[in-house]
Amino acid sequence: AINNTSYPLIHPKPYPTMSDNEYNIESADAGASATIPMEAGQIKKGGFIMIKGKPCKVLSISVSKTGKHGHAKCNFLAVDIFTGKKLEDMVPSSHGTTVPVVVRSEW
């Protein structure tokens, strides 16, 4: 007789199943993206910026002068538009950063 503990029966599932904790990710149509690139020096107070992968509304911007490394730096103080958490980021003003595409809908 064959001992089941030494030869476990493994049946692979023929089709993958989706569990309740997996999310359905919808894609934007026409190849649209959720963010667009923009030069950091062009972002204004009240605009939007991505900080640490989170969409934020800019509260204030301070620009430092060019130093010996040649780039003026923009210091952004912003608030996450979903959680209200304050975030800070420093980017050279001539370098690119990402800006979220924000569409506001009233339900």
What is the residue range of 77's domain?
34-100
Q: What is the mean pLDDT of the chain?
A: 79
Percent of the chain with pLDDT over 70: 69
CB atoms within 10 A of CB 76: 22
Q: CA–CA distance from 20 to each of 12, 13, 23, 24, 27 (Å)?
A: 20, 17, 8, 10, 20
What CATH number has the domain bearing residue 74?
2.30.30.30
Q: How many domains does the chain have?
A: 1
Percent of the chain with pLDDT over 90: 36
12 pLDDT band (50/70/90 cuts)?
low
